[in-house]
Amino acid sequence: MRPIDTVTVALTGASGLPYGFRLIETLLEAGKRVWVLYSQAAQVVAKQEMDITLPSRPADVAAWLAERYRPSDGQLRVFGREEWFAPPASGSNPADAMVVCPCSMGTLAAIAQGMSDNLIERAADVSVKEGRKLILVPRETPLSAIHLENMLKLARLGVVILPPSPGFYTHPKTVADMVDFVVARVLDQLDVPHTLAPRWGQETQR
């Protein structure tokens, strides 16, 4: 597996924005370069779930994230949904890995069909065709046969389908603990060391 230095993190309109923001934070803390993409629906969910007003302009989002997470120079970039000259839009300069977190069923369906109507879909399409790690964190329940068929199609292409299903064997005490459990599973898939959650067999405090 190639070393993962640059990760594209896409935020879509599914419930679960706390997972996405926590993932961005932990990747930056781990010294990874992060490219952030986001949909208009993600802006709505950010306000509803986290009372965060996510700006519309990518430059403003980048400034907001920089103030929140304090990345080093050049470590964080944010691209707009129609920014076709952005690095993740081309197979000549893709990220080492991409995570769509959370991933809406509409985005998942578009990726499964090879659509590229916006930068998120195009970046995912590039990840598949270039054989780069692509992780989808789909948040929906119950799942229809359409959803399951799309997930199976992508899984057969090597895409990692990682539903946000926190385990309770770690005895989480807060919502943040449950968020960290899921983010830890994503980091494991990226081979990024972390201490977000105890591993199976490790003693946990009760």
Instruction: Confirm whether residue 107 is marked as ligand binding.
Output: yes
Q: In this structure, are residues 91 and 129 in contact, taking their beta carbons and an 8 Å threshold? A: yes
Residue with tokens 């076709």: 84
Q: In this structure, are residues 27 and 59 in contact, taking their beta carbons and an 8 Å threshold? A: no
Q: How confident is the model at residue 34 (pLDDT cuts 50, 70, 90)?
A: very high
Mean pLDDT for the chain?
95
Which top CATH class is 6-189? Answer: alpha beta
Q: In this structure, are residues 22 and 137 in contact, taking their beta carbons and an 8 Å threshold? A: no
Report pLDDT digits (tens) over 90-118.
Answer: 999 999 999 999 999 999 999 999 999 99
Instruction: Confirm whether residue 169 is marked as ligand binding.
Output: yes
Instruction: Confirm whether residue 144 is marked as ligand binding.
Output: no
Instruction: Confirm whether residue 167 is marked as ligand binding.
Output: no
Instruction: Confirm whether residue 106 is marked as ligand binding.
Output: yes
Residue type at position 195? T
Say if pTM beats, i.e. exceeds, 0.75: yes
Instruction: Confirm whether residue 114 is marked as ligand binding.
Output: no
The count of C-alpha atoms lying within 13 angstroms of the C-alpha of 97, restricted to the half-sphere facing its C-beta, is 24
Q: In this structure, are residues 38 and 10 in contact, taking their beta carbons and an 8 Å threshold? A: yes
Instruction: Confirm whether residue 141 is marked as ligand binding.
Output: no
Q: What would the two tokens of residue 42 be?
A: 């993600």
pLDDT at 131: 96
Domain ranges of the chain: 6-189
Instruction: Confirm whether residue 185 is marked as ligand binding.
Output: yes
Nearest residue to 77 (alpha-carbon basis) of 45, 38, 39: 38
Question: Residue 1 pLDDT more than 70?
Answer: no
Instruction: Confirm whether residue 105 is marked as ligand binding.
Output: yes
